[in-house]
Chain A
Amino acid sequence: DQQVKQNSPSLSVQEGRISILNCDYTNSMFDYFLWYKKYPAEGPTFLISISSIKDKNEDGRFTVFLNKSAKHLSLHIVPSQPGDSAVYFCAASDGGSQGNLIFGKGTKLSVKP
């Protein structure tokens, strides 16, 4: 059973509009959440993170929202740009084992010009 779920395999958005990528988790022990971005033939690259003591973290065009009661987080990208087209992975950590991140299956974002 998956502890981190990304239920949308793909998302298509028009350039300039908002992209919203969703992630659900089941393990209430998770205390840190991250989003990674992956281009084809490259390794994942860190994008943004949020601690469980916060409900929002913003970095430029990227904002992550955390709803602990719903065990749900989302990544908002605004405005979306064609260069944002990639696979986005949600990941979670319980802090017990540094580096043992649990990843979702990813959502492929396509931003159309």
Chain B
Amino acid sequence: GAGVSQTPSNKVTEKGKYVELRCDPISGHTALYWYRQSLGQGPEFLIYFQGTGAADDSGLPNDRFFAVRPEGSVSTLKIQRTERGDSAVYLCASSSEGTVTGELFFGEGSRLTVL
């Protein structure tokens, strides 16, 4: 499809395990974003890539969270030593270069449950 694709759609893991979430942005979009939405909350910014580099990672909650985008397209969000508080829907979004209006195109999200 032409939209932002995220896999897996659902992930259940045990506390302490390592998790990877993948995002495939809209073709041609150079900007990619990760957000996290906890139950009853709005999306919360995690990290923003422009091309291959992380332009703003100020939203990552701690050093257990890391994201990469090695070729400027697909991105992977990595969470080490997962905790129950990491349970949330992780949303990926992309936008075309030069967008300053903040209009982002979101994927359907990856729901992470940490038991």
List residues of A whose CB falls within 8 A of some B CB. 4, 6, 32, 34, 41-46, 49, 89, 91, 93, 95, 97-106
In the complex, chain B residues 92-108 whose Cβ is within 8 Å of any chain A Cβ? 93, 95, 99-108
Residue of B with least CB distance to A97: B56
Cβ contacts under 8 Å, B101 to chain A: 32, 34, 49
Which one of A93, A105, A106 lies within 8 Å of B102 (CB-CB)? A93
Report the tally of A-B residue pairs with Cβ distances under 8 A. 71
Cβ contacts under 8 Å, A100 to chain B: 45, 48, 56, 58-59
Query: Which of B11-19, B36-44, B65-73, B77-85 forms part of the interface with chain A?
Result: B36-44
A99 with B102, Cβ < 8 A, contacts A43-B4, A89-B42, A105-B42 known: yes
Which one of B4, B58, B102 lies within 8 Å of A98 (CB-CB)? B102
Complex Cα gap A43–B106 (Å): 5
Binding site secondary structure of chain A: loop
Contact with A along B15-44 (1 / 0, CB 8 A): 000000000000000010100000011111
A99 with B56, Cβ < 8 A, contacts A34-B101, A91-B102 known: yes
A43 touches B108 (CB 8 A): yes
Complex Cα gap A4–B45 (Å): 13
Q: Please indicate which of the listed interface residues B4, B40, B50, B103 has the most CB atoms of chain A within 10 Å of its own CB.
A: B103
Cβ contacts under 8 Å, A98 to chain B: 31, 48, 50, 55, 99-100, 102
Complex Cα gap A6–B44 (Å): 15
Residue of A with least CB distance to B97: A98
B112 at the interface (CB under 8 A from A): no
A103 with B44, Cβ < 8 A, contacts A34-B103, A43-B109, A46-B104 known: yes
Residue of B with least CB distance to A44: B106
Cβ distance A45 to chain B, nearest Cβ, rounded Å: 7
Cβ contacts under 8 Å, B48 to chain A: 97-100
A106 with B104, Cβ < 8 A, contacts A43-B4, A43-B109, A99-B31 known: no
B42 touches A99 (CB 8 A): no
Q: Please indicate which of the listed interface residues A32, A44, A91, A98 has the most CB atoms of chain B within 10 Å of its own CB.
A: A98
B106 touches A45 (CB 8 A): yes
Cβ contacts under 8 Å, A106 to chain B: 42
